[in-house]
Amino acid sequence: MKRILIAFTVFTSVSLVQAQVDRGNVLIKGGTVLTVTKGTLENTDVLVRDGKISQIGKGIAAPSGFRVIDAAGMFVMPGIIDAHSHAGIDAINEATAPVTAEVFTGDAVNPFQVGLYRALAGGVTSIHAMHGSANAIGGECETLKLRYGVKDPEAMKMEGAPRTIKFALGENPTRVHGSGNGIVPRTRMGVEFVIREAFSQGKAYMEAWDAYNKAKVQKGFRGTPPAYNKRLETMADILRGNIIIHCHSYRADEIYMLLNVCKDFGIKRLVFQHVNEGFKVAPELAAYGAGASVFSDWWAYKFEVYYSTAYNAAILTRNGVTTSINSDDGELMRHLYHEAGKTQKYGQLTDDEALALITINPAKQLGIDGRVGSIEVGKEADITIFKNHPLSVYTIPMITIVDGVVRFDREKDADDQRIYVDPKQTIDVTLHTSSGHDHESCMQGAVYETAKLFGFNLLEK
């Protein structure tokens, strides 16, 4: 009886936890299907049933009630996955301490940002909504599916996606904590120490709990558990292999440093982000099995990226590193297909290699490659349809589908895609961004210089 009761409780709590996710039925007819993993199929249909790709082939008949999309002359590819984004969340940097592993961006999901629709309009179907790079060890991140239109923030989360956490090396954490507040780390030496220290403390915490758990089942045990500490709990989970580290990094030596630290603590699940100088340690990255998620060609905005090259992605790929291209920027996110195309200029990657950088590879880095990232039967139907080949500059994303539901349709969608309208807004004053985007969105919320004037808390939107 007790078992049934427990099962029932679990079931109800699970269904309460599970947010409503719409899944669609579509038939995409006659397009050139770029599967990414299994070659290119001309004039082929893709059948989506209940949000999953159920059939790929020629001459598939449309079941009744299915929406039919005529993709003749168009290109059908897996939805783009942006492995580094700060969209869709209301808080980016808990920049008050160098280690904040306990916070979680998934606590502050905001599905109403128009930027999410604009990403869909650029063919993006999933994003890795990350903590910022102000801290050596930042918070856990959330993988979101761009189900734009939902009102429930929980419905944006990619249910069951592996846990990930943000680390950051180099100028950002040393500037915020060392230069900004006079606490360790102020140098790259300090960054290494802070990470080692956090892992060591996590290890001690894990061992204390393991000891307690073993002891408490002994007869006559009277004692108290170690004090609950979410930060150390999370560090322990990384050590247990339950969380993938995504580390913001630029310089070759600091990338190498983290490989060594992770090796010492037995951590295998590791992906570097930005990693502008990754090409200088490509053999080491490949040998370790660490992934790299890079910009196509950004450089020169800080000293640690001064010695970058746009050939980075190509060099990493040729050396056997699982590489993806990300945006870390609301504007860049809208044309990741174009950014991937740049690897054909800088390094002459093939079509499939270039497309992998924005589909199956970021999926691998986020641990979701079993579910998305290519067009294969059984995978979730996250699909984008392009007019012209996605790697051509003349391409135009026409339709973006998430879980089989059309979330972006260039020809049908209204101009104004806001879900909620500010009732106090004056109609006429423009929000106008000056030319050139702020490429350091990773630092949002951590810049305090003028904020100190009146103790402002910049950021929190």
Residue 208 engages another protein in binding (rule: CB under 8 A): no
Distance CA 151, CA 154 (A): 9
- CB neighbour list of residue 389: distance below 8 Å, 6 or more residues apart: 75, 351, 395
Please report how close the Cβ of residue 175 comes to another protein at its closest, in angstroms: 9
Residue 202 engages another protein in binding (rule: CB under 8 A): no
Region near another protein per CB under 8 A, out of 88-96, 161-169, 358-366, 369-377: 88-96
Residue 320 engages another protein in binding (rule: CB under 8 A): no
Cβ-in-10-Å burial (0-12, 13-18, 19+) of 342 comes to: buried
Site string for another protein, 242-281 (x = CB under 8 A): -------------------------------------xx-
Please report how close the Cβ of residue 86 comes to another protein at its closest, in angstroms: 12
Distance CA 401, CA 410 (A): 12
Residue 17 engages another protein in binding (rule: CB under 8 A): yes
Region near another protein per CB under 8 A, out of 53-61, 189-197, 201-209, 293-301: 293-301
Residue 453 engages another protein in binding (rule: CB under 8 A): yes
Residue 429 engages another protein in binding (rule: CB under 8 A): yes
Note whether 108 and 156 are within 8 A (CB): no
Token pair in block for residue 452: 């100190």
Q: Which of 48, 83, 103, 442 binds another protein (CB under 8 A)?
A: 103
Q: How many CB atoms lie within 10 A of CB 106?
A: 21
Note whether 303 and 415 are within 8 A (CB): no
Residue 11 engages another protein in binding (rule: CB under 8 A): no
Residue 323 engages another protein in binding (rule: CB under 8 A): no
Three-state SS across 58-80? CCCCCCCCCEEEECCCEEEEECE
**Is the Cβ of residue 378 or residue 420 nearer to another protein in the bound state?**
420
Residue 445 engages another protein in binding (rule: CB under 8 A): yes
Residue 439 engages another protein in binding (rule: CB under 8 A): yes
Within residues 44-83, the interface with another protein by CB under 8 A covers none
Note whether 345 and 314 are within 8 A (CB): no
Kindly state the DSSP code that residue 175 receives in the 8-state scheme.
Answer: I
Taking Cα atoms as reference points, which of 308, 324, 318, 231 lies closest to residue 273?
324
Q: How many residues bind another protein (CB under 8 A)?
A: 124
In DSSP notation, 390-430 reads TTSTT-EEEEEEETTEEEEETTT--S---SS--TT--SS--
Residue 118 engages another protein in binding (rule: CB under 8 A): yes
Q: Which of 39, 160, 182, 378 binds another protein (CB under 8 A)?
A: 182
Region near another protein per CB under 8 A, out of 47-55, 161-169, 185-193, 228-236: 228-236
**Locus of tokens 């679990």:** 10
Please report how close the Cβ of residue 171 comes to another protein at its closest, in angstroms: 8
Which runs of E-coded beta strand occur in 107-179? 124-129, 137-145, 163-168
> What's the distance, CA 133 to chain centroid?
14
Residue 240 engages another protein in binding (rule: CB under 8 A): no
Within residues 20-49, the interface with another protein by CB under 8 A covers none
Within residues 402-421, the interface with another protein by CB under 8 A covers 415-418, 420-421
Within residues 324-363, the interface with another protein by CB under 8 A covers 330-331, 334-335, 338, 341-342, 344-348
| Amino acid (one-letter) located at 294 | V
